[in-house]
Chains A and B, each alone.
Chain A
């Protein structure tokens, strides 16, 4: 009896050690980013990436925000942070609204081709965007939206609607059909039923959709780098430019501060609403 409990305890200790060890590894890069950002250049060159900073030097942060060079301009990340905000907010809102209405239709109405449309949308979530990169550039140019924030909003809405539609459709399918019938008998039409029956029940999936879209769009780089121009770039593009611009020696502390700044919004969203995020990942990705 005691033999098995000892080995049981040993195993448990081993497991916990493993888990904690990996936790440290996963946290590692974040730790390194933070500590490096508070160090001075000399300290970085002479010291060790795992060492804590001697003093909390915030100069790298202000430089990253206001004066670091991202390619030709040296305005720091601030303007590009706001670009990302101007792209993300409308795109998330519009794609969520459209996705909700689409999901409502696809879940409640069976007309010719509705299954086909669902399948086509599902498939569309998987295509590598390289295949639409060139023609989309042509389209944006034709619309006069090349290198603009609005152009990027449009692109993100177009390719985000497939995901949001899927989220809402899968969720709305679970709403009992008798509820819809009762509303019909009560005299509610298409929009009235949506507004009074579906919308009040939609809070969980709206949150999932918003968090997913916010994360995807904020973190996007491909569309950002192809469809933006100087001045309209999102923060991911600016960050990449900043890190790869070597004017007079690399400033690792500024690079790291900039990386943290770029990561902050989605990290905060994750920490605050993480479980909805996970639900969004598994619901959107696995269920399809």
Chain B
């Protein structure tokens, strides 16, 4: 009898996690999905309204601003972080002394909350007392840097802060990748007479493709989930000019008593994440099998 229990132990141990996961991840996703098809406002109302919430969503100008912002933000955030991270990794890979200290400096922003980051950059970019004043004090009296309160530019402040926070991570990934490149490949290239630049371009970077993809996936994941940073840096403003889907969802689901709409926006966010993650995971698992 005890033998039987012992044999079942692995399954028993995993059972709570499996049940909780089924309920709190997949069950909840289902619940939110169902909610997005109802009339719910402040409280759930189980009255089916078909795609009405989604139609409302995509007719909402604020949602469009959020989507546009997401596109702009994600593209800039990913591209700048990749370039910066790659450059720093390449520079660090050249056996500089004290690269440990430098790596620590580039990475520490990741250890800190997005709220802290937002708070700090909100002060630095403060129109009137921040960078603007500093540059003016240097003599450029007409210098203006009011992005934080400029509806057209507010989203770019978020890019700046996000890049500051996350590019160190990209650097760490690339550095690990560079250090993993087989030395003999580089030596072969040198024997073939390739200059440093060409070695990088033709030999090293192609080997780094998986790292690139990994970085892109993770960065886009961070971008889509961005909520904390927006709340603390701009609050979504001025107005809702720097809104992102995550803040849109929060405001409508909780402050504005629009549960159904909020649920619909959450489902759209999920679809976006899945569109990136699913192909990536699939190709990774395929690669592992072969």
Contact = CB atoms under 8 A, between A and B. Distances in A.
Contact of A263 (B116, B176, B263): B116
A128 B231 contact: no
A65 B176 CA distance: 40
Given A26-B105, A48-B137, A132-B24, A32 B124 contact: yes
Contacts of B253: 133-134
B284 interface: yes
Main secondary structure of the interface of B (DSSP, over half): helix
B131 interface: yes
B106 A22 contact: yes
Nearest to A33: B120
Contact of B228 (A12, A23, A127, A236): A236
Contacts of A26: 105-106, 108-109, 164, 168
B32 A121 contact: no
B130 interface: yes
B161 to A, nearest CB: 9
Interface string A4-42: 000000001001101100110111111011001000000
A243 B130 contact: no
Interface string B220-250: 0100110110011001000000000110011
A230 interface: no
A166 to B, nearest CB: 12
A98 interface: yes
Interface in B45-85: 84
A189 B26 CA distance: 33
A102 B13 contact: yes
Contact of B28 (A16, A32, A131, A239): A131
Given A126-B221, A128-B224, A162-B21, 14 more contacts: A30-B108, A109-B10, A114-B14, A122-B281, A126-B273, A127-B270, A128-B246, A134-B262, A189-B6, A221-B114, A240-B119, A266-B112, A267-B108, A288-B284
26 contacts: A15-B96, A19-B96, A26-B109, A26-B168, A29-B109, A32-B120, A45-B129, A105-B13, A111-B10, A117-B18, A119-B281, A122-B281, A127-B29, A130-B246, A130-B249, A132-B32, A134-B253, A138-B44, A158-B24, A161-B21, A215-B111, A221-B231, A222-B228, A239-B113, A243-B119, A285-B218
